[in-house]
A and B are shown apart, each in its own frame.
Chain A
């Protein structure tokens, strides 16, 4: 891998092929947007977008030809972003359950508007 790290010349053909793939991805996104897949709408759009981004990173940004260390750094960036998304989304998922759970524990009295939670700040 590291042998490739210096001044790798990418043939124009590769760039054109990637460009073509990106255009196909764009067309696909526009095409599927005309149908309603329900919850899958966002999933499909994001999947196509992620594939396109991966192609850009690997070929246009030359990561496919870079040293292993560069790949680790980029992988770490993506992994860290995944931590941010994962733990934030988890909050939204289980936050809902907790309010529902609390509701079922209480007497089935008339719906009370939840008291506004003070949102403070830490250090």
Chain B
């Protein structure tokens, strides 16, 4: 990168996006993508805490075979609220809305996203939807499971299904607007020299995710709205007595909700690419393949939804097709995994906190993905459907994949976002605790499911108790692991040592500007002259910048 610069470094400490204005109003009306990213970070952390409390209640109940802590009705509400909050209010917005919002313009060398006002609007829509969900929660909750299947949800449930549906409908627009904003920004605001194939792989991930958000989210919005109308007005879309079909709901629901898995995990894969490249000081092996595999996952992920419906009345022939395509869609994920491993091979690896998360991701995501193939086999799925095997599988993908990647990314870019270094030793300790706690929580669930423990039951036969106790013990370790970053990251804001512009000696435009970045991201107009992950040029670029800063 070359620099047409002003003397930026000399006044590094003076004005940045954080200290430019301290009023609450300046935060609530901000159009700065970095501040909006922070607003999202705070809001989703709150939702993660609430979802986590529900998870703890589930694991507490399952310590004993008899349902003695919660009533069955209460238990139904608890696991439903856990799923709904974690999926719609934490996992889906997590990486795109926090790290994505913060980093996307920085990585592009842009001053902001294409539509800053729309960006702020999307946060407000998210908050309105979230507030409605909180009201749902205190006014009776919902007990349908996060999948809202009729006829239970449309006819029999006595809980706040309509309210929850409307809240998810509203929140969906926040996701669509973010996706739209990112897509337009990537198309129109790349710095001079930043061609498509020089973009960091994180941006390819964000682009693919935006594609799913724009094309898929309207379908879930209309599905939950149809459910709300079905409940209130009996319009007869899902009720056979009125000419409808409950399985139609499953088709519509999974048309979005399978790709939604990729909304959660593709950004995570993007984060992992950035971390692995920087921590091994090597360009990602097979850049083009990794970039295109994100797009392939986004597109082909839309053709596999029927694998959730093998035990419904879905046609067996249709099931065969869905099963086959599901196997095919595993290929791009495998390409990524092999390429990451090939990148690490013979790299000069440093085991800083983000890299520990990245290595954990590789193992856990592989287990999560491979067990997905078990479930995509129609015959085996009859045995495993609706058991704890499914629960373990998607937690390996969602927590072992997405949340691990999110935490890795948060640690990787924390110095950039806050200008402070966190305690490296505590970072490593908590990463290892999370890894161990996670496996202890969810590995026994594979065994439980294989042995026949159904999901969503609040009581079970005594034979399963040992495995359930192991799982609950793991959950308390995991909870401890999740609380630790909350503490030492917050502490770093006050006591952490100041971060340099590029603490990891990483390649990328976001590392070229100060930590935390100035209000308009760069004090010069960035120009890109190297391929992505050209670590040999990092020093050269830095020296060129310093020279300009001195002579200017």
Contact = CB atoms under 8 A, between A and B. Distances in A.
Q: Do A and B come from one complex?
A: yes
Interface of A: 69, 73, 76-77, 80, 83-84, 87-88, 90-95, 97-98, 117-123
A118 B307 CA distance: 15
Nearest to A89: B251
Given A69-B187, A87-B306, A91-B306, A119 B311 contact: yes
Looking at chain A's contact residues, the main secondary structure is: helix
Nearest to B309: A122
Contacts of A119: 149, 246-247, 250, 311-313
B314 A91 contact: yes
Contacts, number: 80
A77 B306 CA distance: 20
Which of A88, A90, A119, A120 gathers most chain B CB within 10 Å? A120
Given A88-B248, A95-B315, A121-B149, 7 more contacts: A80-B302, A88-B251, A92-B315, A119-B149, A119-B312, A122-B308, A123-B394
Given A69-B187, A90-B318, A123 B303 contact: no
Nearest to B246: A119
27 contacts: A69-B187, A80-B215, A80-B302, A83-B302, A83-B303, A84-B252, A87-B251, A87-B303, A87-B318, A88-B248, A88-B255, A90-B315, A90-B318, A91-B247, A91-B314, A94-B317, A95-B314, A117-B313, A119-B149, A119-B246, A120-B386, A121-B149, A121-B386, A122-B307, A123-B261, A123-B391, A123-B394
Interface string B321-333: 0000000000000
B529 to A, nearest CB: 27
Contacts of A123: 261, 308, 390-391, 393-394
Nearest to A121: B147
A23 B215 CA distance: 31
B54 to A, nearest CB: 17
Nearest to B256: A84
B355 to A, nearest CB: 29
Contact of B311 (A77, A83, A120): A120
Main secondary structure, interface of B, reads: helix
Contact of A91 (B147, B215, B261, B318): B318
Contact of B317 (A69, A77, A84, A98): A98
Contacts of B314: 91, 95
B483 interface: no
A4 B216 CA distance: 30
B385 interface: yes
Contacts of A92: 315
Contacts of B303: 83, 87
A120 B312 contact: yes
Interface string B237-254: 000000000111011101
A92 to B, nearest CB: 8
B145 interface: yes
A95 B313 contact: yes
A110 to B, nearest CB: 22
A123 B402 CA distance: 15
B219 interface: yes
A1 to B, nearest CB: 16
B316 interface: yes
A117 B317 contact: no
B214, B308, B309, B318 — most chain A CB neighbours (10 Å)? B318
Contacts of B214: 73, 77
Q: Pick the 6 closest A-B CB pairs, nearest first.
A: A122-B308, A123-B394, A95-B315, A120-B386, A94-B315, A121-B147
Nearest to A123: B394
B524 to A, nearest CB: 30
Contacts of A117: 311-313
Contacts of B316: 98
Given A84-B255, A119-B250, A95 B318 contact: yes
B107 to A, nearest CB: 21
A8 B304 CA distance: 41
A98 B315 contact: yes
A69 B187 CA distance: 10
A2 to B, nearest CB: 12
Contacts of B248: 88
Contacts of B318: 87, 90-91, 94-95
A90 B390 CA distance: 27
B308 A121 contact: yes
Nearest to B253: A121
Nearest to A81: B219
Contacts of B391: 123
A12 B511 CA distance: 52
A30 to B, nearest CB: 23
Contacts of A122: 147, 254, 307-309, 375, 385, 390
Nearest to B393: A123
